[in-house]
Structure 1
Amino acid sequence: MLRNREFRKFSIFFSLIAAATVMLGFAINTLAGILSIASVTAFGTTFFTFTKARYKSIAQISDQIDLVLHHADRLYICESDEGELSILQSEITKMTLRIREQNDALKKEKEHLSDSLADIAHQLRTPLTSVNLILSLLENNPDENKRKALIRETKELFVQMDWLLTSLLKLSRLDAGIVVFKSEQIDANTLISAALHPFLIPMELHDIALQTDVPKGILIQGDSGWLSEAIQNILKNCIESAGDNGKIEIVCEDNSLFTEIAIHDSGAGFEKEDLLCLFDRFYRGKNAGVAGYGIGLALCKTIITRQGGTITAKNHPQGGAIFAIRFPK
């Protein structure tokens, strides 16, 4: 307590007043002097005891805050009676708990970032290893036809890596919250046509039949560019699953509660253990293609959910997989 300058000043001031009071009491008569001494002693003792207890509580709070600053696992500040000190204790407890929550969130983000970087490195290592092997074969292969085939394969690998890096960049922008989605009325026919456009030639080359049932006049609220990106990722997955001579069906339905876009392919469908993890980042199911990275569906879900929609995937009763995107009214 004596380290507090205000307390030292008060002690000196109180001592002067107490001395003056006692002297004045004895100047009146002996009984008045004795009564002054008793009063000053009682008041001084009560004040010192109360102040000491108050400083002890403040010291406990200070010790607890120091533990928090040194990464203590627990925080406990004993409860006080109602008053300013109790309010202070309550506010400090709230503050420290909030700081701990933020620290825990930062730790989780760091762990997630570390895991993501490890996954990215692993995903890139596979095509890079293949490119390195192909370059070695090109160097030692005199056959012109085989060299051309190896060059085409190298180009395909670079295209895959470009798609992977682009998708990861989009995911990172979405995670960082720097993407601002537009809110506009989108015609469902226009949206699906825009999403299908890049795949029309590949589907024709692989003899994949396309059937669409999208009534006119159906409108969806959202960002057309990003929603087209999401649907393209689903179509890419369905085309790979359907394979040569496969079939893809797109059906759009509208009711008073929601608008649904369902995309059904004639592929092998999903394994039961894959259904719960399909939209997890970097997850690759048992039936995933060699070129799969586990990015497309994760990106798709992030885009749709950030705009208030939902996406589910399951096995169709008639075979193959079906993705359902719903936008509530």
Structure 2
Amino acid sequence: MLRNREFRQFAILFSLMATAAIILGFSINKAAGILAIAFATAFGIAFFLFTKARYKSIAQISNQIDLVLHNADHLHIGESEEGELSILYSEITKMMLRIREQNDALKKEKEHLADSLADIAHQLRTPLTSVNLILSLLANNPDENERKNLLRETEELLVRMDWLITSLLKLSRLDAGIVAFKREQIDVNHLINAALHPLLIPMELHNITLQMDVPKGIKILGDLGWLSEAIQNVIKNCMEIAGDNGKLDIVCEDNPLFTQITIHDSGPGFKKEDLHCLFHRFYRGKNSQATGYGIGLSLCHMIITRQGGTITAKNHLQGGAIFSIRFPK
């Protein structure tokens, strides 16, 4: 306690006042002097014991703070009665809980980052391995037709890698919260046509039948570029599941509460164990094609939910999968 400047100053001031009181008491008479000594001694001892107890409590709190800074899991600060120490105890408890929550969040983020980096490395390694294999085959293959096929396959792999890297960059931007979505009126017909446009030729090549029921004049609020990409990824996923000679139904419904876009395919639907993981990053369901990366639906979910919408998926009663994208009014 003597290391505390305030305590030393108070001790000096108390000594001077006690000395003055004792001298004044003896100047009156002996009994008054003895009474002054007794009061000064009693007050001094009481103040010393009280201050020592307070310093002990503060020292315990300081030790607990030190434990918090060293990531202790189990902490205990005994509650004090009403007063300054009780307020300090309450604030320290809040601080401990907050720091513990932040530590847990940081651990989860580090684990998620490590898992994501491992997944990204795996996703990129697969096409790179295929490209290296094709290049070695090209070097030892004199047949011109075979070389053209290998070059075409290499080009497809590079296109897939470019899509993968672009999608990962978009996910990173969305995770970081640096994407500023526009808030503008979008005609749903225009939105769906913009999403379908790049997929019309693949649909024709795979003989996929498309049926649309989208009334004119329905509008939603959002970012046309990002939302068209999200819907395009959903349609692309349905095309892959439906396969050759498949069917797609796109229906839009509008009511005073929300606008809903449903996309229904003629594929085999989802496995029961896949339904709760469909929008998880890098998740590839039981019915996914081998070329899938498990990124498209995750990107869709993030784009739509960040703009106030919702997206769900389930098995249709008449077979196939159905995606429901809903935008509240």
Scaled by the length of structure 1, the TM-score of the pair is: 0.97
Which residue of the partner structure matches residue 105 of structure 2?
Answer: 105
Q: What CA distance in whole angstroms lies between the structure 2 residues aligned with 1:240 and 1:28?
A: 107
Match of 2:137 in 1: 137
1:172 equivalenced with 2:154 (yes/no): no
1:71: which partner in 2?
71
Shift of 1:295: 0.3
Amino acid at match of 1:205: L
Secondary structure at the residue paired with 1:276? helix
- Using the TM superposition, give the Cα deviation of residue 115 of structure 1 relative to its aligned residue in structure 2, in angstroms: 0.3
Report what 2:278 is aligned to: 278
Matches within 5 A, 1:310-329: 310-329=310-329
Query: Aligned equivalents of 1:248 and 1:26: distance in 2?
Result: 108
What CA distance in whole angstroms lies between the structure 1 residues aligned with 2:319 and 2:69? 59
What is the CA–CA distance in structure 1 between the aligned matches of 2:317 and 2:47, rounded to whole Å? 83
Identity %: 79
Alignment of 1:216-255 (within 5 A): 216-255=216-255
Q: Which residue of the partner structure matches residue 307 of structure 1? A: 307
Q: Report the Cα offset of residue 247 of structure 1.
A: 1.2
Q: How far is the alpha carbon of 1:172 from its aligned partner? A: 0.8
* Counterpart residue identity of residue 251, structure 1: V
Give CA-to-partner distance per residue, 1:14-56, whole Å, 9 cap, x none: 1122122212212221111111111111111111111111111
SS of residue matched to 2:276: coil
Does 2:144 match 1:127?
no
Write out per-residue CA displacement over residues 255-280 of structure 1, whole angstroms, 9 at most, x where no aligned residue: 12211101111122111111111111
Distance 1:81 1:139 in 2: 83
Counterpart-to-counterpart distance in 1, 2:232 and 2:293: 15
Deviations 1:152-211 (A, max 9, x none): 000000111111111111111111111111111111100000000000111112211111
Q: Secondary structure at the match of 1:80?
A: coil
Deviation at 1:322, TM superposition (A): 1.0
Tell me the distance in 2 between the aligned counterparts of 1:186 and 1:239.
25
Superposition RMSD on alpha carbons, in Å?
Answer: 1.1
| 1:109-142 Cα deviation digits (max 9, x unpaired) | 1110000000011111111111111111111111
Aligned-residue offset at 1:7: 0.8
Q: Name 1:34's counterpart in structure 2.
A: 34
Q: Report how many aligned residue pairs link the two structures.
A: 329
Alignment of 1:256-295 (within 5 A): 256-295=256-295
Distance across 1 between alignment mates of 2:43 and 2:276: 72
Q: Which runs of 5+ in 2 are unaligned?
A: none
2:214 aligned residue: 214
The CA distance in 1 between the partners of 2:242 and 2:7, in whole Å, is: 83
- Which amino acid is the alignment partner of residue 300 of structure 1? C
Which amino acid in structure 1 is aligned with residue 254 of structure 2? D
The CA distance in 2 between the partners of 1:130 and 1:224, in whole Å, is 36
Q: Which runs of 5+ in 1 are unaligned?
A: none
Distance in 2, Cα, partners of 1:82 & 1:171? 51
Deviation of 1:69 (Å): 1.3
Is 1:184 the counterpart of 2:153? The answer is no
Tell me how far apart the structure 1 counterparts of residues 17 and 207 of structure 2 sit (CA, whole Å). 105
**How far is 1:101 from its partner?**
1.1
